[in-house]
Amino acid sequence: MGVPALFRWLSKKYPRIVYKVQEEHPKPIESSRDDDGNITIYSPVDITTPNPNGQEFDCLYLDMNGIVHPCSHPENKPAPETEEEMMREVFLYTERVVNMVRPRKLLMMAIDGVAPRAKMNQQRSRRFRSAQEAKEKEESKQQYYKEMESQGHQFSDEQKGKKAWDSNAITPGTPFMDLLAQSLRYWVAKKMNDDPGWKGLQVVISDASVPGEGEHKIMDYIRRQRSQPNHDANTEHVIYGLDADLIMLALATHEPNFKVLREDVFAQSDKQRQKNKGSRGEPQQLKSEVEKNKNQPAEPNPFIFLDVTTLREYLYFELKLPNMPFPYDLERAIDDWVFMIFFVGNDFLPHLPSLEIREGAIDTLLAIWKRSLPLMGGYVTKHGDVNLPRVQMILDGLASSEDEIFRRRKETEDRQDRNQKRRKIEQHKRDLELRNKGSNRAPLPENRNMDLSTESSTNSMNVGGVEYKNQSEFIGIKDNNDLIANRHKIRMANMNAAEMLKAQMSGGVNIPNEAPAHEGDDSHKRKHPDEQPDDEQVPGIKVTKTEADDEEQGEESAPPLANEANKLKVNADGTVEQEDIVKLWEPGYRERYYRQKFGIELSDVEERRKIVHKYLEGLCWVLKYYYQGCPSWKWYYPYHYAPFAADFENIQSLPINFELGEPFRPFEQLMGVFPAASGIHIPRPFSKYMTEEDSPILDFYPEDFQIDMNGKKMIWQGVALLPFIDENRLTKALSERYDDLSDDEKRRNERGKETLMISESHPLYDQICQLYTKRKGNSVMELDVQKASSLAGFAESDPEVIPGSTFYSPLTSLDDQPDLVDDKSIAVRYTYPEQLHPHKSIILRSFKHKPKQLTQYDIEKARNGGDNHRGGGSHNQFRGNNSAVPTSIYNGPGRPPRPSYGRPQRPPPSYIQGRPTGARPPQGVFSPSLGHTHGRPRPPPPTMGMGRPRPPPPTGGFRGNYGSARPPYQGHPGNQRRY
């Protein structure tokens, strides 16, 4: 979901929800040598053994786009050469995830199918940006080759002509996605033939031919199973994916036993940061370290669990208020909390201008909700429906704070800019001292015209994905004598380097792929916004965006920005500076905002009312989508920007109605989201429309488009001002050429069904085989839930399946993926069971509650803002059997309170509204009576005045006098930090 930094915010606010996955790796059993070197044979992981995480799981759901993207175009290693090699990488990654979780009943692989129209706007923006990035990288790469050849270097035509693989191919309807579906079915059959751990497993594959986003197809399956009378309310669920919205979706199921599995995408950056801290040594030493580690393969990122059960426990205390006029309902309160997250960001609507998660937007909304809830008479949402009068109270509370939020934001940004400049000056001085210390020559003079950019002192550049070293290395500069003798060469080399950097920026902004399909708020494809380098301008470099043709802008598109705002200054760290014409922190910002962003005047009340109505529809659409399924396949928000909270007036009078409609066909979506540069993935009869001069829809595919930074600094945060697709014009144009498609292309454009696969060892095998007998061929059969481990639904024969025959490998170029002779698996087309009643936000009666995880210390810490207000911290260590960390190392139960150094820390402003009454419970006791969140109990005073209380001495005493050296903090092993 489009909520930048949501996962990191949650893991810091509620640190006990995240802990590391214990992973068992294949073990080497044999080594041999051949002509190419050593070969090591590994024994596979035996997943029939107990899970090393101390807990068994029933169902594993894979959001496959989160696997396909990093496998097809990885960051930390060379990309696979062919699409078939990409399939092998997908197999290896998927097997690693399955080995971690070891599901005992069900494995579901869901690939993104055709998305609702509301999501296609974002997909269109991402894919146009990706194509522009690829174009600019190719241009800069060719410029690099040209510059290097002018200096005598040689490159083959193959090197210069090789182009990067187009990641836009990971879109429903392309040949790549068809190969992916076939390959997954083959690989599952192979595992069922070879791996004992897969023989009792049921595998459901929902490929790209099945409409819907992968994670929402998974949730639709869970909701339907949950409505069945035989559903086990104690089922242990695990869902894998990188999107932050998986957390919200897991909460929306109201299945308490839920975990979200994901890569620890911050682990690599944390390692690099630690490495950088220790890299201030002699230049020769640093060079040798670089050479030593240059060819070492990057370690795979570790994995972490986000425990939704523990998050629900945190939210119990976070959302409970004292003296309420109606009963507290945790499930309804969680739904309200999820709904408020949508205000901060989602994939279907631009977020409100006043809400930024790093500015405490969630806490701000939560504080407004707490103030308003007693006056509302009930909760804001109910089973996916929104109570508009109560939403009005939330928006009124936010509107009263908007002016102050914008002013504080500007003050914070100015302060951060000053601090960044100061730090860079200090770092520059330290670098000079280090260079002088490591040299026997005279000290280098300080450069008073130093470049404050973070990239200015690097010794290598990366242009278009091609890394090249400092030009002085090419011309043999070694010491000061060489510097004097080769001044002319150095000057020319520096000029060449500047030209190459300029080439990197030529033709527009080097736009990263904002968020591929697998990305969420903390994607591995770009640095987390919290970790971005400082933003100082590279002197003398300006990049001018190409203006989009005004005639190509639809009626609903935002107006072009003023010419002076089109010039973007690209900094060395990837940030961009663009004049902010709106100036939200100055009076009159609303007039400027609507004039610049919507092309209307503030006095145009009717048009502003239309914008508010569409945005309100969007909020209701998103909530319904998360709780009941897609309410409309055709609805979308027809603007690039959101209104202000102050513009939501009398919203209860606005009608909210949706028509379900039908999803697009795969080729219709491709034509709606692809730029012309990705037309190679579309059948030729359709792709011609992207480039032909007489095309009736040529204006849908601009080669150049504007990016409005909208007050942001990172380029991926900018708004791509693309024209919206006119559905009627698109479908009319395509309908004229459907007859020109080949039979295979027509097959790829059809709507498919899920596939259910089992091995011959499964109890359901005999029943499934009956579908392939002459007597019951092509009939539909209801699954026996007793034999299918409570899997409800319907099966029908697949005309492409012949039980017991040879399963031919679709990966003909890979020797390690052979045909499966005498295949011992069987596959059928699978249909979800009917949802017997609408999804309800309740805990099922048969659910068995588990022991509480949180201590009073954990609750108090969350009320004080968690780690968000006290720096970072590592993830909790492994927790076996879903229990709290052993407490035997402490004198009391749970974690000890952190010692106080001086005055107690103040809670965040949104929590300062009152204090609880009553006696303070013993440490570590779960006390629902303290479930309010208007404030936090006053901590007991330190035993030694306002100073830190003396901790008990460790065994053997301290070395030296206490006071001159602080003993190590004996805190929770998974949350240690330095003081």
Distances (CA, A) of 700 to 117, 207, 721: 15, 28, 12
What's residue 330's pLDDT? 97
Residue 930 confidence (pLDDT): 36
Confirm whether 927 is domain-assigned: yes
Q: 935 in a domain, yes or no? A: yes
Q: Is 533 within 8 Å of 574 (Cβ atoms)?
A: yes
- The two three-digit tokens of residue 132, written as one number: 């522009």
Q: Identify the pLDDT of residue 875.
A: 60
Which stretch of DSSP H or E encloses residue 101?
A: helix 83-101
Residue 522 contacts residue 260 (beta carbons within 8 Å): no
DSSP helix/strand/coil, 674: coil
Q: Give residue 777's pLDDT.
A: 54
User: Hey, which residues does 258 pair with through a beta bridge?
Assistant: 237
698 CB-near residues (< 8 Å, 6+ apart): 689, 690, 691, 692
Residue 472 in contact with residue 493, Cβ under 8 Å? yes
Using CA atoms, how far apart are residues 103 and 48, in angstroms rounded to an integer?
10
Separation in Å, CA 917 to CA 322, 325, 423, 817, 935: 10, 18, 46, 67, 10
- Amino acid at the residue 835: Q
Quote the CA–CA distance of 456 and 458 in Å, as a whole number.
6
Does an H or E element contain 382, and which?
A: strand 381-382
Amino acid code (one letter) for 526:
R
In this structure, which amino acid lies at residue 878? F
Asked if residue 679 is part of any domain, the answer here is: no
Alpha-carbon gap, residue 796 to 182, rounded angstroms:
19
What are the 10-residue block averages of pLDDT along the chain, 979 residues in total? 76 95 87 61 90 97 96 90 97 98 98 97 93 88 90 87 91 98 98 96 98 98 96 97 92 97 78 55 49 58 96 97 95 98 93 92 96 96 98 97 95 93 91 75 54 43 41 40 47 47 41 38 38 34 33 34 47 78 95 97 97 98 98 97 97 97 97 97 97 96 91 85 96 96 97 97 93 75 92 95 95 96 97 95 95 93 75 53 35 39 41 39 39 44 46 48 40 39
Write the DSSP assignment of 920-959 as a string of letters: PPPTT---GGG---S--PPPPPPTTTTSPPPPPPPTT--S
Q: How far apart are CA 614 and CA 633, in angstroms?
A: 15
Contact between residue 387 and residue 380 where contact means Cβ atoms under 8 Å apart? yes
CB 469 within 8 A of CB 459: yes
| Beta strands in 337-481, from DSSP E residues, in sequence order | 381-382, 385-386, 460-463, 466-469
Of the CA atoms within 13 Å of residue 110, those in its CB half-sphere come to 26
Residue 841 lies in a domain: no
Which residues face 14 on adjacent strands?
A: none
Half-sphere exposure of 30 (CA within 13 A, CB side): 5
Dist. CA 388–CA 83, nearest whole Å:
49
- The two tokens of residue 960 are 């030296």
Give the residue among 143, 140, 138 at the shortest CA–CA distance from 161: 138
390's enclosing H/E stretch is: helix 388-399
Q: By the 8 A CB rule, do 628 and 839 touch?
A: yes
Q: What is the DSSP letter of 341?
A: H
The DSSP bridge partners found for residue 639 are none
DSSP structure class, residue 155: -
At 506, the amino acid letter reads S
The tally of CA atoms less than 13 A away on the side-chain side of residue 291 is: 6
Closest C-alpha to 833, from 885, 781, 758, 763: 781
Structural domain includes residue 950: yes
Residue with tokens 């989508």: 625
Beta-ladder partners of 607: none
d(CA 612, CA 644): 9
Given this model, what pLDDT does residue 242 score? Answer: 83
| Structural domain span for residue 921 | 889-954
- 160 within a domain of the structure (yes/no): no
At residue 661, φ and ψ (nearest 5 deg) are: 70, -165
900 in a structural domain: yes
Query: 3-state secondary structure string, 610-650?
Result: HHHHHHHHHHHHHHHHHHCCCCCCCCCCCCCCCCCHHHCCC
Residue 874 domain flag = no
Q: How far is CA 788 from CA 71, 268, 397, 847, in A?
A: 32, 41, 51, 21
Q: Give the amino acid at 755.
A: T
pTM of the model: 0.78
Into how many domains does the chain fold?
Answer: 1
Cα–Cα distance for residue pair 907/925, rounded to 1 Å: 22
